[in-house]
Amino acid sequence: MNSSAISVRNLWKVFGSGGAKIPLDPELSALPSSNLLERTGCVAAVRNMSFDVAKGEVFVIMGLSGSGKSTLIRCLTRLIEPTSGSVSIGGQDILQARPAELRDLRRQKMSMVFQHFGLLPHRTVLDNVAYGLQIRGAAKNERYARSREVIELVGLKGYESHFPEQLSGGMQQRVGLARALAGDPDAILFDEPFSALDPLIRRDMQAEVIRLHKDMGKTMVFVTHDLSEALKLGDRILIMRHGEAVQCGTGDELVGSPANDYIADFVSEVPRSDVLTLKWIAEPVASSTPGDAPVLSSATIIRDAIHTVMHSSSPVLVEDSGTITGQIDRDSILSVLRSTRAAA
Amino acid sequence: MRKTSVLKRLVPALAGAAATALLLSACGGSTVNQAAAADGSKTACGTVNVAMNAWVGYTANAAVYSYVAKEKLGCNVVQKDLNEQIAWQGFSSGEVDIIIENWGHDDLVKQYITEQAVAVDAGPTGNKGRIGWYVPPWLAKAHPDILDSKNLNKYASLLKTSESGGKGQLLDGDPAFVTNDEALVKNLGLDFKVVYSGSEAALIQSFRAAEKNKTPLLGYFYEPQWFLAEVPLVKVNLPKWTAGCDAEPEKVACDYPDYTLNKIISKKFSDSGSPAAKLVKAFTWTNADQDSVATDIQKGMAPEAAAKKWVDAHPQQVDAWLK
Amino acid sequence: MSATLIELEKTSGTEPAPAKLPRRRLSRRALLLLSAAVVWIAGFVFLHGTGTLALPTSELTDLHRSLNHFNSWVASNRDDNPVFLYLLSPLRSAVDAVAAVFTTVFAASSIGLGLPEIGWLGTVALLGWIAFAVGNARVALLTVAVFTFFGLQGLFVEAAHTFALVVTAVLLSLLVGLPMGVLAGVSGRVEKIITPVLDFMQILPTFVYLAPLALVFLIGPASAVIATVIYAAPPIIRLTAHGIRGIPENTREASDSLGTTSLQRLFTLQIPMAKRTIVMGINQGTMAALSMVTIAALIAAPGLGQVVVRALQSLDVGTAVNAGLSIVLMAIMLDRVTTAASERALPATQRRRSRVSRRTRMIVVGATFALVLMLVQLSRTMLWAARFPQEVNLGPAITGGVDNASEWLQTHLFLLTGAFREAVTLAFLNPFQTAVTETPFFIMFAALALVAYAFGGWKLTALVLACLTMIIYLGLWGDAMVTLASTLVATVIVMVLGIVFGVAMGRSSRFDKLMRPVLDAGQTLPAFVYLVPFLGLFGATRFTAIIAGVIYAAPAAIKIMADGISGVSPTVVEAAVASGSTPWQVITKVQLPMARKSLGLAANQGLIYVLAMVVVGALVGAGGLGYDVVAGFVQSSLFGKGLAAGLAIVFLGILLDRITQAAAFTAPSRSLSTAQPTTTKEA
Ligand SMILES: Nc1ncnc2c1ncn2[C@@H]1O[C@H](COP(=O)(O)OP(=O)(O)OP(=O)(O)O)[C@@H](O)[C@H]1O
Ligand SMILES: [Mg+2]
């Protein structure tokens, strides 16, 4: 378990007075949200949640509005106090941490980027980015030097002495990002960081995050309600509904084998050819297939295989770590493409 | 950017102007030091704290006393505007030396003179105070028999107002004065209601308007009071005061007694032997004296000037106080 | 004040109320209110005259008599009780010392010629410079003009005394108020405890505690300053707390996520972000302090208040107005300067772009300071710069003009005003007062409890019943009902004015601009100034008292309504106009319903402001609790009753405040949900 960066076990968060009893009560804890609210006046925003995030992984939490994503991600640094369960970060159980330890954790190990930026309006960009360092007690020169580096990294060079109000939404979120990066944390938590931005800027910012992740390899927990964003960024995706985990897996696992109708419905509009890999459509190798047919890795995304398959006179073989596991032909590709178009 | 250059020019200009002003001032006009030197000619008598109660008659007394103490004795007189109750409090905290016109106040006398022994009676001012019910002159002329309290019920409906709940109105004034009016109305069997105007100003203004607009009004008033010089209110006769007739407040059915107005000074001041203390003990004058000064003040003369006028006109009397 | 804050807090939190609830509650509430009215009317018709608990003006209860001993207790303990020796006396000396510094600098030194340390020219220059440094050139100019005008009025020294006391009081209020406000802002529990204390400090009439203060802190500046602080600190505390509370959750969360300690959070986040609201609190506190100067004059606080009080005693309208004008001008000046300062407190980007750069500004500030130093030096040497020249004196002209005008008014309008007064009193005030005072107390209990339950449920009902019980315990039920009747009538008038002028101002910004200074004057002109002419016009009656209350309270209500009306979303108005509504329809169908929350707030503030004038009203014939307070102030044998009456006013105030607040804040959910659909339908 210690190899994972973040490990969550049986986590509950119940809002409302007397909420602490609910996770312990087998009858109440089984009630659906609306009945629970009626009976106790409490809202169970996170229910019995367990998952692990590996070092360097981008872990996406997804769900519709109100499903408890923000609550969950805040429980990870106790910005919201969990009701029960455990959260351990780098092996340390943070629910047992004393205030000073918790502060240390927030200063050194985890930082967060918020949907509404949370910038301090009375401070310049430079001072906003340096804020976390100032809180730690870093000397002025040191923190400004470091902040300038980070500001350059997120592409805001030249805007150091602007105030947040003078920046566009996308630039403000870059400041938020820079602030999170400035302290060089082990992990960064994102709570719907780009949902307030328009689609073009959102795409830029997603690219930015991907780039930063490649460069620095930090663990990231990323909350979003946008499936395409989730698929684009996430190594793994956790889908939440009414505070519960519905399914957790890689993007093509969700699309390829949805755990239930809810997920199936959820992912129905995803262009399958863009997400699924050959693994999901490979058929057993037919005897008629020539041995010198082209070979593609099973991890190839279908869309990228189109060219090869269409130009090959025979079916194409699929291999997984050196062994041939199956084959695909034009028909299998076309059926995926057809279903994609129908969904769209 | 043009703005900046204007500012740049403005700053030296301002500084220059100030320097010029300084230079100019050095050559003309009197200086603070000269004035201070001219002022430092007082002999010492110490500081005297005189409470200033609000009415003009009081102001007249205080003005004349202060003028004499300042000019003839060289005292430093500090006047403090206070209401009566707080002025009496000042005796115990040592902040008030003199109340120069006191109207009775048995409760305060008991508390500060008898019990706490921080104040002493410094003798009468020579003024007589009278409290009673008054009507504006036009009403007295139009209905001469209103001046007898026995006939008041006849006028109850005339004196009715929207405030008096269907009865005749008796307008009371400054809550600082103890009145027996509610008991009087009851015990004399009058069909009247006491309405509280709430302040002396309200009372005076009511009488003033009543005389000017010839509206009927019956109210509580007192003399000496400068307002009587402006509008000579006429007193209504209540059953005559006899000693002891007002012993029990609930059963009073007679007129108010005449007050001998006196001066109250703090014990410490009295014992200090200061010439100012001697002066206040010797200070007496008549209602007419007070009215003349009060009327001058009321007409807009500064109290000091009114006092000077009276002092200059009555040199022997002032000398008698100073002996 | 408190209402505004609560309102702001309420609007910021979204309440997910189930959609069908308001309608059901509405009909039940109407039913409850209706039954309250029925109980009251039936109680009056069948039982009137019984159980009225009226206490004759000159009578006391045992409680009053025992409270009477308070004064003598203080007097006998002052010299040896350790609280007095080691706490209150040093406090007094400290306050006196601070007051003395400002007084000597601006008004008069206690030695020598009694000239101020920095003369009138130095004072004008220094204050103008400070206004420039904290605000801008415009307010600096205003400051210089206003102080010069004081000189021309012949009131420079008086004004400087008042200014010195106000500055002292505001400084001390900040010293007490800022930490308390921060505490109340950070901790909900502290705020809960402190709120009723602040209500108490603001509603308890000054007359009640002036005499004991003078006994404890002696006559003079210290008592005056402390009395002022009691009144001026609450708005500072409330607004500071509100500013800190109002910081967006997401900003606070962001700073927490970086691992701030609570001290770091306070200094890097909460105080900087609340700065503007805090400065607004300072503005409010300053205004409150200034409104105390006339009352503080009653314990020998020097300054303009004394001129006004003395003029009131001799019914000298001209002099009173001259001094009153100074007070209004000082209020406007202080208001504009602190407002400019609060704009400067905004982060650089939010305020209007200034045309000069920061550096140029610093240079100008520095250079003008040198100039100020020179002028101060000049004032210390030259007599003409030290003492304002007597030759130019507009005072007599103003005084004479005002005297003539007031004389003319009183002569020519008397019949008209008299008839008006009679009509309102007989048709409106007398029947209503009879219905309130003649109804048995238990009927009033029941009716008010029903009203409270309709608006605020059990909690409010319990509070209201507790307040009423306290009033009975204080032995002043009858007087309290007299005061309640006048207060309610005055509030109705205030609301009518508020709606009429508020709508007019909300719809026309030109009219708004025109009215603002008039409203400012109405709020800051000491009542003592206009009492005398009003006495001439309306006599010593409850009506005059009501008018005084209206003059003071209407500006606040009008301002709130104007803001509410102009705050109605322009698109909604546009939609209504586009669908062919007449202006009248727009006002009655769209703007007023949508500004319903402001309506409630205006009623609440109107009530509280009217209540603040209860004591002043008693000086011109209001009777009731106000008279008891005044009498307690001037007669030691009535001190206990006055104190009890002051407390009764507080309980009455809290009761009315909580009921109107509850009424105001439960209304909007309905008004919005009903107002919006109709307008869209029309559109
Ligand atoms: N402080 C709170 N008190 C009570 N209930 C709360 C609180 N915060 C959140 N909730 C409830 O918890 C549930 C989950 O809220 P949360 O904000 O975590 O959802 P979310 O998935 O982040 O939604 P969104 O996508 O809209 O941000 C909601 O039903 C919400 O009403
Ligand atoms: Mg969320």
Q: Which pairs from B213-216 meet CB under 8 Å and 24+ separation?
A: B213/C414, B213/C415, B213/C418, B214/B138, B216/B135, B216/B139, B216/B155, B216/B158, B216/B159
Helix axes A140-153, A125-136, angle to 10 degrees: 130
CA distance C319 to chain B (A): 10
pLDDT of residue C651: 93
Instruction: Report whether pLDDT(C187) > 80.
Output: yes
Whether the Cβ atoms of residue C241 and residue C9 lie closer than 8 Å to each other? no
Superfamily of domain C82-97+162-334: MetI-like (1.10.3720.10)
Q: Which residues contact C47 (CB under 8 A, 6 or more apart)?
A: C439, C440, C443
Which residue lies with its CA nearest to atom 17 of ligand 1? Answer: A70
Euclidean distance between CA atoms B295 and B310, whole angstroms: 12
Considering chain C, what is the average pLDDT of its residues?
A: 81
pLDDT of residue B33: 59
Please list every residue in chain C whose beta carbon sits closer than 8 Å to the beta carbon of residue B19.
Answer: 374
Please list every residue in chain C whose beta carbon sits closer than 8 Å to the beta carbon of residue A79.
Answer: 253, 256-257
Closest CB from C248, C258, C348 relative to A135 = C258
Residues of chain C with CATH 1.10.3720.10: 82-97+162-334, 416-437+479-683
pLDDT of residue C683: 26
Q: Is C257 within 8 Å of A103 when comparing Cβ atoms?
A: no
Q: Is B55 within 8 Å of C371 when comparing Cβ atoms?
A: no
Whether complex ipTM tops 0.85: no
Please list every residue in chain A whose beta carbon sits closer than 8 Å to the beta carbon of residue C246.
Answer: none
Block mean pLDDT (10 aa), chain A, length 344: 79 87 82 82 89 92 90 91 91 88 89 88 90 89 93 89 88 91 90 86 87 88 90 91 90 85 82 81 84 84 84 85 85 78 54
A321, A322, A327, A329: CA torsion to nearest 10: 90
Mean pLDDT of C570-581: 80
- In terms of Cα–Cα distance, which of C473, C468, C607 is closest to C550? C607
Mean pLDDT of C25-30: 69
pLDDT of residue A58: 93
Map out the domains of chain B with their CATH numbers: 47-128+261-322 (3.40.190.10), 129-251 (3.40.190.100)
Q: How far is the CA of A250 from the centre of ligand 2 (A)?
A: 22
Domain C416-437+479-683 is in which class? mainly alpha
**Which value, in Å, is the radius of gyration of the alpha carbons in chain C?**
26
Mean pLDDT of C69-92: 77
CA distance C394 to chain B (A): 16
Q: State the pLDDT confidence band at B19, using cuts at 50, 70 and 90.
A: low
pLDDT 10s digits, B250-284? 788 888 888 889 999 999 999 888 889 989 999 99
CA distance A143 to chain C (A): 14
Atom of ligand 1 at shortest range from CA of C16: 31
Write the DSSP symbol of residue C388: -
Q: Is C375 within 8 Å of B162 when comparing Cβ atoms?
A: no
Strands (E), A55-122: 58-63, 84-89, 92-93, 110-113
Is B254 at the interface with chain C, CB within 8 A? no
Is C385 at the interface with chain B, CB within 8 A? yes
Q: Please report, as a single letter, which amino acid is at residue A69.
A: K
Protein residues within 5 Å, CB atom, of ion ligand 2 = A 70
CA distance A206 to chain C (A): 21
Interface A–C counts its CB contacts (< 8 A) at: 80
Q: State the pLDDT confidence band at C366, using cuts at 50, 70 and 90.
A: confident
Q: Is C627 within 8 Å of B7 when comparing Cβ atoms?
A: no
Is B114 at the interface with chain C, CB within 8 A? no
Residues in contact with ligand 1 (CB, 6 Å cut-off): A 15, 43, 45, 63, 65-71, 225
Please list every residue in chain B whose beta carbon sits closer than 8 Å to the beta carbon of residue C385.
Answer: 25
Whether the Cβ atoms of residue A154 and residue A178 lie closer than 8 Å to each other? yes
Is B81 at the interface with chain C, CB within 8 A? yes
Closest CB from C251, C253, C258 relative to A132 = C258
**In this structure, how many other beta carbons lie within 10 angstroms of the beta carbon of residue B281?**
16
Q: Which residue has the tokens 């041995």?
A: A291
Q: Which residue has the tokens 């910038």?
A: A119
Token pair for C32: 């409850």
Euclidean distance between CA atoms A85 and A49, whole angstroms: 8
Helix (H) or strand (E) holding A175: helix A169-182
Q: How far is the CA of A224 from the centre of ligand 2 (A)?
A: 8
pLDDT of residue B219: 93
pLDDT 10s digits, C481-496? 999 999 999 999 999 9
B311 sits in the region (left: phi over 0; alpha: psi -120 to 50; else beta) called alpha
Please list every residue in chain B whose beta carbon sits closer than 8 Å to the beta carbon of residue C410.
Answer: 209, 212
Euclidean distance between CA atoms A87 and A98, whole angstroms: 14
Closest residue in B to C619 (Cα) is B198
| pLDDT-wise least confident of B4-8, B119-123, B197-201 | B4-8
Cis bond upstream, residue C234 (ω within 30): no
Euclidean distance between CA atoms B303 and B61, whole angstroms: 10
CA distance A243 to chain C (A): 19
Instruction: Report whether pLDDT(C679) > 80.
Output: no
Q: How far is the CA of A4 from the centre of ligand 1 (A)?
A: 27
- In terms of Cα–Cα distance, which of B204, B207, B229 is closest to B298? B229
**pTM across the whole model:** 0.81
Q: Which pairs from C385-390 meet CB under 8 Å and 24+ separation?
A: C385/B25, C385/C119, C385/C120, C385/C121, C385/C122, C386/B32, C386/C115, C386/C116, C386/C119, C386/C120, C386/C121, C387/C115, C387/C119, C387/C120, C388/C120, C388/C151, C388/C156, C388/C157, C389/C151, C390/C154
Write the CA distances from A272 to A268, C26, C77, integer angstroms: 9, 53, 90
Q: Is C255 within 8 Å of A120 when comparing Cβ atoms?
A: yes
Map out the domains of chain A with their CATH numbers: 4-109+185-267 (3.40.50.300), 272-343 (3.10.580.10)
